[in-house]
Chain A
Amino acid sequence: MKKILEVTDLCKTYVINKRQNNVLRNVSFSINEGEMVAVMGPSGSGKSTLLYTVSGMDRMTAGEVRFSGKDISKLKPNDLAELRLDEMGFIFQQMYMLKNLSVMDNILLPARQSKNNPMTSKEKFEYCRELMHKLGIIEIADNDINEVSGGQLQRACICRSMINKPKVIFADEPTGALNRSSSDEVMDELCKINSEGTTIMLVTHDAKVAARCTRVLYIVDGNIKGEYNNTESDMRKRERSLNNWLLEMGW
């Protein structure tokens, strides 16, 4: 299978008050097209930093990240922005949206901004409606973001991440601010998207969420300590097996 993301010896160091803080230390891994990979680890282990660095939202200190074969460390800020707009999608723990736009406009915005999206404005609009329909939020299309529930808003965020048909969706604790039922609904949607061919890399604290991914990377002190492949088809067995592995990892 083709590799969509190749990370080699990735390092990220912050300097705070003249003291170096090595958040990521020579991290190497790769993600294949169509995979759904979860990154787990204790608080402060570098999970979110890893996600932001490999997605080009943050600059790496050393190493190499290849996205679809392109070395993102060599890209200029504008090219990186274009890459994020056209080929990546983002979902955050908090359902961040622009306050002055309706739910639908928030979803549509990246599509309208993209110059590489071949669809016409009308097609983009239709596609936006299709996505919202698919995720069951079409009825809140014209609502203000203050008028909808957290679960609906996170689904809207998923729609937004999907609007430019990205190659990879990066999700930072996508269910972190949701209750269990909303969390399950969101994961159902992400799994559906993944089954349709979109690669997903997500950061989570929730073993139940991680259990739905095909692979789990466990990170401790900026290093990948272990990697777990979910081979079980039964979800319960899969969760149990992952929990056992996580216990071995020191979770």
Chain B
Amino acid sequence: MYFGILKRDLKRKKTMNTILLIFMILSVMFVSSSVNTMLSVMSATDRFLDLSGAEDYFAATIGEKSGEDALKKLNELDCVSSLKSERIFYFNENSVKYKGKTAEISSNGVLNSVDDISIRIYDTNKNELTKVNDGEIYVKSSFLEKNNIPVGAEIEITSGGYTGKFKVKGTVLDVLFGSEMMGTPRFIISRNEFDKFVQSSTDEKYDMYKGTILNISTDDLSKVENIVSGIDGIAFTGTRDVIKLTYIMDMITAGVFLIVSICLIIISLVLLKFTIGFTISEEYREIGVMKAIGIRNSKIQNLYMVKYLAMAIFGAVVGFFAGIPFGDMMKAQSAKNIVSGDENDIFVNLICSAGVVLIIALFCRISTRKVKKFTPVDAIRNGESGKRYKKKGLLSLSKSHTRPVFFMAVNDILSGFRHFAVMTVTFVVGILMITIIINTISTVQSPKLLAWFSMADCDVALEDKECIDKYNRPDGQKLRSDYLEEMEKTLAENNIPAECFGEALFKLSVQKGDKKTVSLAFIGSGTTTDQYAYIDGTPPESVDEIAISYITADKLNVKIGDTVTVKTGGENEEFIVTALFQCMNNMGEGIRLSEKLPMDFSKVLGYFSYQIKFTDNPSDTEQNERYDIIKKLYPDYKFRTAGEYLDYTISGVAGAMSGTKDFIILMVMIINILVVVLMEKSFLTKERGEIALMKAMGFKNHTLIAWQTIRIALLMAAAVIIAILLTDPLSQLAVGGIFRTMGAKYIVFDTNILDAYIIYPLAVFAVTVLASMISALGLRSISSQEVNNIE
């Protein structure tokens, strides 16, 4: 009997069931593949760390002495059970040339000899890389992609006192420097070639190019951290967990798909509730008759359960199989920088599929409770049990000055909002997905984000790739300040009133009591500390004051007013903490020192671009004209607007998100089309009699189509407004976590009003309304004589 009912019902409501099934399939497919991908990447990262022989703690030093010092001190520690070291040779951002042009690299890189490397690295075929021939080089895959360099091409690297030419042999999978978030690229060459760099750089001025990476196994991380933080010339430190965290950006696509799949499940459930409700109210006669002949509620509920459970199981089977290749595709993208094994755990897909079926079954059970409401009397009295209903029409046509169809559309929504809630929820969820992702992309590309990267507000960033060569000397601070002053003058002579400034970065040991850490230190040239953003306190004014990032403060248990000890160039100096700030550099760890504090710039870790801030608020046209002038004045520097500079700095985030944005917009449009077709079909069935009556009264087809379409358009417009209001709080919830992982605490999303709130919602609006209009064309087949079908 159940099978017969199922078969009949499937035939009768083909479109409705098909759309519901599509949602079930998509839900299962996305949820199983995205969960599997995320779990796989997470476990693969662990596995990759183990496989590579990565120990508990990594540190990179600058300068030969620093490396030796670190090795000596760490060897003395009892808690260090294993200490591996490898020589590295740093190269600057402008050091690599391809076809005579400087290749794009987002930060300084390191060269390693394949024989020295302390961890295992792999080629793209996942074979351990143990040998590199002289004249050959293995590079990070994103370096080749970014610069369109094919394997086999020749690149030239100049660093220290040597220039070497290398044939790109392939790309390398490197657990330490391989993630998208890790800007530093590591290139692998032969020991002979590596030695050429070292031997040609014996002059002391090249000392900063030489470094050591330490791979430490310990059972007492804090002790090791304390020791390392006391060593001069530390460029980078990170625990195994921090390394793992750098792969978070590689999972961003899977994360977005997981959010999409959750939205799809919500939409499926809402649609399911509507469809069950609709089917049950349509079949009140059958239900009434079944009750009249003594069939129990639970038995009747089972009839409906069988149908939707069968659909859910079918959807889960299809979604399960479709999820496997889809998951593989996602994993290929997410785990491209990882040596992943056979993490494709079908069991995860199975559990996810079964989970979705279970949720649907539970929801079905709850939704079919409506069956209990119908009595045998309903079958006799055409669904009217004699009860008086609450007043439906909330508006009055006589008081309205609008066209009747518009009035009816508004009145229908207000009179029976529950019927339209499904669509509203779906539309809101869809628009939210779009607005959140657009605003997130806009935020990561917004000049406002400069403050989160410990930079002062500016209009232009000029990248001087020779900064390190020019200023890494004891008097570099003055040289840089002088140069920036000169730049201001040059700009003023060209009628550009502007301030010029820049940031120098150090790695300094910060201590409070027995707690120590190595933190990124920012010192401005040409700025004052009040030009930066703080989350609490007042900017450091004198040389013995300091601002500290809240993550560093938490680590050291420091609050405003406390005193910390900072090792500034060999000397321990005490500073009073006057402010807390947030930064997304160095996983949120940072300190800001007064620009007046004299520093030895020979120990500088790196520099941000020169920044230019126009002081006279020029118009957009004027700004563009100035950009051209600046480009002509400084042709050797890479010109970027503030937004472009940020985009370049964190291209991994923006790039990964932009890729999914178009997909999400397409998905939302498809979802809306499917939902509108389903709902419109049900409306045409439910309102068949009323449509016929209106036709009999003389309403034309196009008027009735307008009536149906206006309702959807109004709901869509309301959904856009609701979604806009919810965008910020939900962005904090959905995306804020990523920023918090990177070190930001107080996130203010940048709102791209044009794209997020106008263009894309309008595009979705247009597609949805068009789908509604096309679906409503179905009412043309309703004859005015069908007025007799009215119930």
Pairwise interchain contact A84-B392, C-beta atoms closer than 8 A: no
Q: Which secondary structure dominates where chain A touches chain B?
A: helix
Question: In the complex, which residues 415-458 of chain B have their Cβ closer than 8 Å to any Cβ of chain A?
Answer: 415-416
Q: How far is the CA of A87 from the CA of B144 in the complex (A)?
A: 78
Chain B contact residues: over half helix, strand or loop, or mixed? helix
Closest CB-CB distance, A245 to chain B, in whole Å?
A: 29
CA distance A98 to B409 in the complex (A): 12
Residues of A within 8 A of B (CB): 52, 57-58, 77-78, 81-86, 88, 90, 92, 94, 96-102, 104-105, 108-110, 112-114, 121, 125, 128, 142, 144, 146-147, 160
Determine whether the beta carbon of B698 is less than 8 Å from that of A100. Answer: no
Beyond A100-B392, A105-B398, A114-B698, 8 extra complex contacts between A and B, CB < 8 Å: A58-B785, A82-B700, A98-B408, A99-B392, A101-B397, A104-B396, A105-B397, A113-B698
Q: Please, how many angstroms separate the alpha-carbon atoms of A100 and B397 in the complex?
A: 11
Inter-subunit contact A128/B398 (CB<8 Å)? yes
Chain A residues near B401 (CB-CB < 8 A): 121
Please provide the chain B residues from 760 to 791 with a CB less than 8 Å away from any CB of chain A in the complex: 783-785, 787-788, 790
Also in contact, A81 and B695, with CB within 8 A (given A57-B785, A113-B703, A144-B391): yes
B29 interfacial contact with A, CB 8 Å: no
Verify B393–A105 contact, CB threshold 8 A: yes
- Bound: A84/B695 CA distance, A: 9
Task: Name the CB-closest residue of B to A93.
Answer: B788
The complex places the Cα of A98 from the Cα of B690 at a distance, in Å, of 6
Does the CB pair B785–A78 fall under 8 Å? no
A83 to B784, CA, bound (A): 14
Contact of B699 among A58, A85, A101, A104 (CB under 8 A): A85
Docked CA distance A199–B240 (Å): 93
Q: Which residues of chain A have C-beta atoms less than 8 A from B405's C-beta? A: 113
CA distance A97 to B389 in the complex (A): 15
Is B701 at the interface (CB under 8 A from chain A)? yes
Q: Which A residues are in CB contact (< 8 Å) with B412?
A: 100
Q: With A86-B698, A121-B401 given, is the CB distance from A92 to B389 under 8 Å?
A: no
Interface check B411, CB cutoff 8 A: yes
The answer to whether B14 has its CB under 8 Å from any CB of chain A is no
A93 and B468 alpha carbons, distance in the complex (Å)? 93
Shortest beta-carbon distance from B396 to chain A in Å: 6
Residues of B within 8 A of A77 (CB): 700-701
B354 at the interface (CB under 8 A from A): no
Does B643 lie at the interface of the complex (its beta carbon under 8 Å from any beta carbon of A)? no
Alpha-carbon separation in the docked complex, A94 to B790 (Å):
9
Asked if B153 lies at the interface with its beta carbon under 8 angstroms from chain A, I say no
Cβ of B703 and Cβ of A146 under 8 Å apart?
Answer: no
Task: Determine whether B404 belongs to the interface, using a CB cutoff of 8 Å to chain A.
Answer: yes
B281 to chain A, nearest CB (A): 13
Query: In the complex the two chains form, what is the Cα distance from A84 to B701 in whole Å?
Result: 13
Question: Among the listed B393, B689, B695, B788, which residue makes an inter-chain contact with A100, where contact means beta carbons less than 8 Å apart?
Answer: B393
Residue of B nearest to A77 (CB): B701
Q: How far is the CA of A112 from the CA of B698 in the complex (A)?
A: 12
- B380 on the interface (CB 8 Å rule)? no
User: B393 touching A102 by the CB < 8 A rule?
Assistant: yes
Q: Which of B411, B703, B783 contacts A101 (CB 8 A)?
A: B411
Q: Cβ of A85 and Cβ of B698 under 8 Å apart?
A: yes
Q: Which residues of A contact B407 (CB under 8 A)?
A: 112
CA distance A84 to B384 in the complex (A): 31
Contacts of A88 in B (CB 8 A): 698
Residues of A within 8 A of B703 (CB): 113
Residues on B with C-beta less than 8 A from A58 are 783-785
A121: chain B residues within 8 A (beta carbon)? 401
Q: List 12 A-B contacts (CB under 8 A).
A: A58-B783, A96-B693, A99-B392, A104-B397, A108-B398, A109-B404, A109-B697, A112-B403, A113-B699, A144-B391, A146-B384, A147-B388
Q: B556 to nearest A CB, angstroms?
A: 66
Cα of A147 to Cα of B388 in the assembled complex, Å: 7
**Which residue on B lies nearest to A90, using beta carbons?**
B696
Q: Which residue of B lies closest to A94 (CB)?
A: B790
B697 touches A85 (CB 8 A): yes
Chain A CB count within 10 A is highest, among B403, B407, B700, for: B700
Residues of A within 8 A of B384 (CB): 146
Do residues B790 and A96 form an inter-chain contact, with CB atoms below 8 A?
yes
Q: How far is the CB of B693 from chain A (nearest CB, A)?
A: 5
Chain B residues positioned under 8 Å from A99 (CB to CB): 392, 690
Q: Is B263 part of the binding interface, using a Cβ–Cβ cutoff of 8 Å?
A: no
Query: Which residue, of B392, B694, B695, B698, has the highest number of chain A Cβ atoms within 10 A?
Result: B698
Nearest CB in chain A to that of B394: its residue: A100
Residues of A within 8 A of B415 (CB): 100
Give the docked Cα–Cα distance between A146 and B268 (Å).
Answer: 34
- Contact across chains for B787 and A92 when beta carbons are under 8 A apart: yes
- Are the CB atoms of B389 and A78 closer together than 8 Å? no
Q: How far is A101 from B414 in the complex, measured between Cα atoms in Å?
A: 11
C-alpha spacing A125/B398, complex, angstroms? 6
Taking CB atoms, residues of chain A closer than 8 Å to B699 are 81, 85, 113
Measured CB to CB, the closest approach of chain A to B386, in angstroms, equals: 10
8 Å CB contacts to A: which residues of B689-733? 689-690, 693-703
| Chain B residue, CB-CB nearest to A163 | B697
Most chain B CB neighbours (cut-off 10 Å) among A83, A90, A114: A90
Chain B residues, CB < 8 A from A81:
695, 698-701
Q: Which residues of A sit under 8 angstroms from B790, Cβ to Cβ? A: 94, 96
Q: Which residue of B lies closest to A142 (CB)?
A: B396
- Given A57-B784, A96-B787, A144-B393, decide whether A84 and B697 contact each other with a Cβ distance below 8 A: yes
Which partner residue on chain B sits nearest A105 by CB separation? B397
* Inter-chain contacts of A108 with B (CB < 8 A): 397-398
Specify which chain A residues have a CB less than 8 angstroms from the CB of B392 in the assembled complex: 99-100, 144, 146
**Chain B residue at minimal CB-CB distance from A121:** B401
Q: Are B700 and A98 in contact, CB atoms less than 8 angstroms apart?
A: no
Docked CA distance A97–B787 (Å) = 10
Contact residues of B between 370 and 387, Cβ < 8 Å to A: 384
Contact of A112 among B389, B397, B694 (CB under 8 A): B397
Residues of A within 8 A of B690 (CB): 98-99
Q: Which residues of B contact A92 (CB under 8 A)?
A: 696, 787-788
User: Which 3 A-B pairs give the minimum distances between C-beta atoms?
Assistant: A85-B698, A84-B698, A105-B397
Residues of B within 8 A of A109 (CB): 397, 404, 408, 697
A177 to B410, CA, bound (A): 32
- For B389, B696, B785, the residue with the greatest tally of chain A CB atoms inside 10 Å of its CB is B696
